[in-house]
Structure 1
Amino acid sequence: MRKIILTGATGYIGRKLLYRLLERGHSVSVVVREKSPRLSSLPADTEKIFYDGTFNSLLDGMKDKESGLVIHVASLFLTQHKPEDIGNLIDSNIKFPCYLLEAMHTCGLTEIINTGTSWQHYENSDYNPVNLYAASKQAFVDMLKFYQEAHHFKALTLELFDTFGPDDERKKLFHFLQDAAETGKTLKISPGQQLLDIVYIDDVLNAYEIAIKQSGKLTGTFTVASGQLHNLQEIVAIYSKISQKKLNIEFSALPYRLREVMKPWECHRNLPNWTCEFSLEEGIKKILCQGMKSH
């Protein structure tokens, strides 16, 4: 079992990962903001390192975490940004994780599992950011490279594709499909020809577990991709069929976004020893089953 410092525990993937790690018997400390509205979603007895925007707040909380493994999941995700978003993007996706790296170095920690995004690879490029969010994620990878070379950090980055699962509060596709199914409201979306590779949350958590076991031995960047491609129209049809509800979907009511990803990145290598266990259909069934239980 490992001592783990986890960021992003108040977000969807980070929260699910926290519970998985605790189930496995790991000792987990979470880095959170004291005023985060989602603190109540964490187990009350979870050790918390409160980040107040300063380096010293991280350093104070990490001083006694010798031999700990850092898992960095936190990020600010924006599909499109406004000028007023730039400061928050830089603070969340570059400044904060750089403070994290420096605190690790000061405390003698060298192992980190970082989380990236397939959106760093628009049009199948080695690097071509879809948006400023993806650019900020790559900027941090470049910062991390310095610590790898100068301070011998052992870093493994998992680049995630789209993810989904039960209890997902994120304003993403399945949130809107569920709302349309329950309310009968018309959902206006794009023409729907873009292909998506969507990975069920349990498969994502399995990837982190494998990465933990390989931490310190396996370094580099790897992906967590199902290889199962469906366009948006197909996903809507599958959801409607499994839920047995007719959805009022108005395709082409909205244009494609700037730099819409029409086909996911193909020139990648998945994390060794990881395979996708859940199909899209199986994941949707689990979401719907969980929804029925909550009602």
Structure 2
Amino acid sequence: MRVLVTGGTGFLGQAVLRQLAEKPFHIGSLQRASSTSVDDILADGAATVETLILNPELKDVCAQVEAFSPGVVVHIAAVSRAKEDEEGIRAMLEVNTLLPSLLAQSAARCGAKGMVVCGTSWQTSSPENIYDPFNYYAATKQAAEDILVPFAKNGLNVISLRMFDNYGPSDWRNKVVDLVFNAVVAQEPLKMSPGFQKMDLVYVEDAAAAIVAATERAAGDPLDQLEVYGVSSGEHHSLRDLEALIGEIAEAAPPIQWGERPYRPNEIMEPNRKLARVPGWSPHVSLRKGLERVWESKRNALRLAK
């Protein structure tokens, strides 16, 4: 089967590409010219990935997709950290809403079986599964999900995965797990909110496995409707719990200054608990085990730097 992936050069996308490469798939990576070479991601040469360069303003993207003729399209690419100004809004709309719309249209026209899109748990701001977007980024992800409903009604197997925060070794995105570990290493104060918000942290390989499972499901028997699943660890920990666990693993207390920053506007204090998991998938790496792997990776990097 031919699988076309967007966002395959990102932190999560690289893990997805590596896992897809273990399957009997012909893989295509639709990416910007400035992105990492997929040859560097799959350095062992175990699989061949065909690279398709995404043109500015998505010009000719439909023709590119139809020429590749995928059986399933997997849309991981996202713009999530842009400012909510004119430039940021345009960027989020282009990648988070317009691109999946064009991908779905192209997939349907070339007879693809299905499409997997990555949304966000931030589409709901409470433990209940009720649409209440945390920010504009989450709203664009909901818009994409809604736009894909007509394609699902017309026979395309569409699966939307609401992604919770993922983490793992060598994460360059400067997210909370690395911020806390880096504070331990540098022993420099880290200003934080009061820290009582709870998080659902998913190890990157587990998150990637959920996307691969959804890809195989989208390639299978016809689905009755657009399906929505949560890629959740099932573990909910506060930021203060995370600090304590990292302190145990690193054997040094993270120098966090609690309450030095306010909570973000509309801060999500409890993650969504109502989303079902992709059939056949469950996480295998506990938060402690995942954090131990991150810490070992950082220790190895520090040894090499000496």
**TM-score, L = length of structure 2:** 0.89
- Alignment check: 8 A CA contact 1:79 1:131 kept: no
Aligned equivalent of 1:70 = 73
| Structure 2 partner of 1:53 | 56
Alpha-carbon RMSD? 2.0
Question: Which residue of 100, 103, 123 corresponds with 2:103?
Answer: 100
> 1:202 is matched with which residue?
205
Question: Which of 249, 256, 265 is the aligned partner of 1:258?
Answer: 265
Question: Which position in structure 1 is the counterpart of 2:157?
Answer: 154
Supply the AA of the counterpart residue of 1:252. G
Q: CA deviation at 1:83?
A: 4.3
SS of 1:115 mapped into structure 2: strand
After TM superposition, the structure 1 = structure 2 runs for residues 139-178 of structure 1, keeping only pairs within 5 Å, are 139-149=143-153, 151-178=154-181
- Residue 13 of structure 2 contacts residue 208 of structure 2 at CA under 8 Å; is this kept in 1? no
Q: How many residue pairs are counted as aligned between the two chains?
A: 292
Q: Are the aligned partners of 1:53 and 1:96 in contact in 2 as well (CA < 8 Å)? A: no
1:81 matched to 2:84? The reply is yes
- Show the counterpart of 2:23: 24
Is the deviation greater in 277-286 or in 171-180?
A: 171-180
Tell me the CA shift for residue 125 of structure 1. Answer: 4.3
State the SS of the aligned residue for 1:63. helix
Distance in 1, Cα, partners of 2:198 & 2:29: 35
Match of 2:189 among 186, 191, 205: 186
- In structure 2, which of residues 124, 131, 139 is the aligned counterpart of residue 135 of structure 1? 139
* Aligned-partner residue type, residue 289 of structure 1: E
Q: CA deviation at 1:80?
A: 6.1
- TM-superposed CA distance for 1:67, in Å, is 5.2
User: Which residue identity is paired with 1:24?
Assistant: K
Residues 54 and 89 (structure 1), Cα distance of their counterparts in 2 relative to 1, 3 Å cut: closer
Shift of 1:292: 2.8
SS in 1 for 2:148: helix
Equivalent residue, structure 1, for 2:245: 238
Q: After superposition, give the CA deviation of every residue in 1:184-241 in whole Å (9 maximum; x if it has no partner).
A: 1111010000011111112112212322332233551111112211100010110111
User: Cα offset for 1:178?
Assistant: 2.3
Letter aligned with residue 262 of structure 1: M
User: Partners in 1 of 2:22 and 2:169 — Cα distance?
Assistant: 18
One-letter amino acid matched to 1:157: S
List runs of 5+ in structure 1 lacking aligned partners: none
Give the structure-1-normalised TM-score. Answer: 0.92
Q: Offset of 1:98 from its aligned partner?
A: 1.4
TM-aligned CA deviation for residue 54 of structure 1:
4.8
Q: Which residue matches 2:276?
A: 269
- Sort the Cα spacing of 1:163 and 1:79 in 2 relative to 1 into closer, same or farther, 3 A: farther
Separation (CA, whole Å) in 1 of partners of 2:70 and 2:80: 30
2:8 equivalent in structure 1: 9
- How far apart in 2 are the matches of 1:147 and 1:279? 36
| 8 A Cα contact 2:181 2:246, kept in partner | no
Report the counterpart of residue 231 of structure 2 in structure 1: 224
State the match for 1:285 in structure 2. Answer: 292
Partner amino acid for 2:296? Answer: C
Amino acid at match of 1:283: G
Verify the 8 A CA contact 1:199 1:225 in the aligned structure 2: yes
Distance in 2 between the 1:79 and 1:228 partners?
A: 28
